[in-house]
A = this chain, B = another copy of it.
């Protein structure tokens, strides 16, 4: 079986991901998404890979990708949209090669590759588009189907107008690079949907696009809260208790369920780890702390009596008597004792987040906060659900953060106090009175 050349799209702006940076470099189970993807593709047999980055993330993606897989083509996207990306990649690809186009941040389970291999084994000279069955309406492209063929794609049809229940994913196989190039060249315009127009024209011209349905896992990251969905997937693949022999775990600590605990980790007395959980190298889980359904990066300190629940914690974060729930934290973040991420609205309705001036629903009832890299938050501060704190920002003590904080800000509480003489002599009270109370048992 001849594998197509793989085009991995890694460009595009991450502005909706702010204040977090480069999502492809987020680590899950100790490896970046780039590493996960490259290893997955290699494992399935792909040999020639072209990665298309943006100008901004070229260096970072290149460093990481070549670290994992030395022989790669990595190019900076020229031109707009998916067509720009595809065309940039196709410059490195011969006209008679077959290609598969995927997104770097679309994570699938192996089933999708089985679908592809089946197609390559039987109809390698026909196009293949893979779709995803979605009961719920999803604001993407929908396939118009004719038997096992895709005959059209309708972008955001609106709920109730879907031509099928099958959502278009980017897992697009073309048996002949030249044909795709030619159609894109003909469709060329100022618009950013040249790729989509080209595909539509191919379909209209009767070129066969077989349809495969992916029924398994599909996770992707656009907004910060998608990190939690991605985390959930990677946590689900932990198969047992993988605990490094170089981790030190107190006898009274409880390790429950599936976990990965890396080397150098220390888990102190009475700490509880409730899997699925990943804990990165050299991190400390201090006395009486609880970590559940979460990932903790390297070199973190989950301090005394802190709970980390369903959260993604990047490396070098420090906590102390905190509750971190359903939140995504960047690197080198510290919270003072008693600071809390609130993860549930009082009215228990969907948490919404400000993204580029718009309120965007997260689809989550429980969602806490997004905190950028290098942030410090003072003791007893509170972050309202869905609030984002920008990178390199400080929040003082006792602050209620109910509006997003931009990068590089310092938020301080201005608190009005009354200071008067204290005329009460507390030494005249007796702790014994308190203990016994004035309790009136005859309490009519």
16 A–B contacts, CB within 8 A, in A order: A134-B442, A136-B442, A167-B444, A288-B290, A288-B305, A304-B323, A323-B337, A342-B379, A346-B426, A347-B376, A374-B427, A380-B382, A382-B398, A392-B422, A397-B400, A411-B418
Docked CA distance A415–B378 (Å): 16
Is B410 a contact partner of A443 (Cβ separation < 8 A)?
Answer: no
Copies of this polypeptide in the complex: 3
Q: How far is the CA of A140 from the CA of B440 in the complex (A)?
A: 14
Given contacts A410-B419, A426-B332, contact A346 B396 (CB under 8 A): yes
Q: Which of B132, B220, B332, B425 contacts A392 (CB 8 A)?
A: B425
Interface residue? A434 (CB, 8 A): yes
Determine, out of A20-28, A35-43, A363-371, the stretch whose residues face the partner at the interface. A363-371
Contacts of A405 in B (CB 8 A): 419
- What residues of B have a CB within 8 angstroms of the CB of A136 in the complex? 440, 442
Chain B residues near A323 (CB-CB < 8 A): 304, 320-321, 337-338, 379
For A132, the closest partner residue in chain B by CB is B442
| Bound complex: CA A146 to CA B290 (Å) | 63
- Among A219-241, those with CB < 8 Å from B are 219-220, 222-223, 225-226, 229
- The size of the chain A interface, using a CB distance under 8 A, is 102
Contact B338 A434 (CB under 8 A): no
Return the contact of A412 from the options B418, B424, B442 (Cβ within 8 A): B418
Chain B CB within 10 A, most for which of A140, A332, A350, A379: A379
Among A274, A349, A382, chain B packs the most CB atoms within 10 A around the CB of A382
User: What are the interface flags for A392-415 relative to B under an 8 Å C-beta threshold, 1 for contact and 0 otherwise?
Assistant: 111011111010010011111111
A96 to chain B, nearest CB (A): 33
Which residue of B is nearest A399, CB measured? B417
